[in-house]
Amino acid sequence: MAKWRVHFMSRALVLIPCALAAAALAGHPGSEYKMTHPEHFKVYEKLSYSYTHSKYNPAVVLDLSALVTRNDTPEDAAISLTTAMAVGDYNSFYRGWTPEAQKTMSETDNAKHHSPEYWTKTWAKGLRGRRVEMRDRIETGKYVIIDMFSVPLHSDSPEDLGEFPWVLVKDSKGHWWATQDLAEDPVLQNWPRPYSIIEKVIR
């Protein structure tokens, strides 16, 4: 039995290098010149995104019964957008975004056949029987993120929380507008997990 095992292992040692060589050749683009088998390496580019985080203490509970239309501060802009959702005022909500974001939103809605009524009904359903709290403020570069949470009126379960962060940017006149500039930004996705590492395979 021992001899069979040694013989089997010796065959495996021969077959493994052959398999590796075949794999290397298969992955080579080919050339008319002689060359060594390709070796595979990686280089890394390290990018960092800095931000500051503050909590509202205590959390700010919004009055959703009346529309607010101010945008002198990031908080004003975020509250205006949220109250527009609560009272079903699509036009005020739409006007709270940058022109670039408005264009993107319109194109997406047209492609998906989403009307303003679709959104007002969605907002009413999502906010019914809930209160909204402003809990976190994140600043990164020229952007401010105001993180809102919707909370059931009769429950404090973490599983019942709904989160919607507003990303605001200031224009040349000092007014703040919602933007989609950070839709794919690591800070927006990962600010609750500082020093997290996101690996993206480029090629």
Region 154-171: what's the mean pLDDT?
Answer: 85
Q: What is the pLDDT of residue 75?
A: 98
Give the least confident one: 3-17, 143-157, 173-187.
Answer: 3-17
Q: What is the pLDDT of residue 29?
A: 64
Confirm if 159 and 143 have CB atoms less than 8 A apart: no
Q: How confident is the model over 168-195, as pLDDT tens digits? A: 999 999 999 999 999 999 999 999 999 9
Residue 81 burial (10 A CB sphere; 0-12, 13-18, 19+): buried
Task: Tell me whether residue 136 is in a domain.
Answer: yes
Task: Tell me whether residue 199 is in a domain.
Answer: no
Choose among 140, 124, 47: nearest CA to 86: 124
Statement to judge: residues 9 and 102 lie in one domain? no
Write down how long the chain is: 203
Q: How confident is the model over 54-85, as pLDDT tens digits? A: 999 999 999 999 999 999 999 999 999 999 99
Q: Which domain holds residue 154?
A: 52-190
Task: Tell me whether residue 197 is in a domain.
Answer: no
Statement to judge: residues 59 and 35 lie in one domain? no
Statement to judge: residues 80 and 130 lie in one domain? yes
Statement to judge: residues 81 and 60 lie in one domain? yes
Region 100-122: what's the mean pLDDT?
Answer: 97
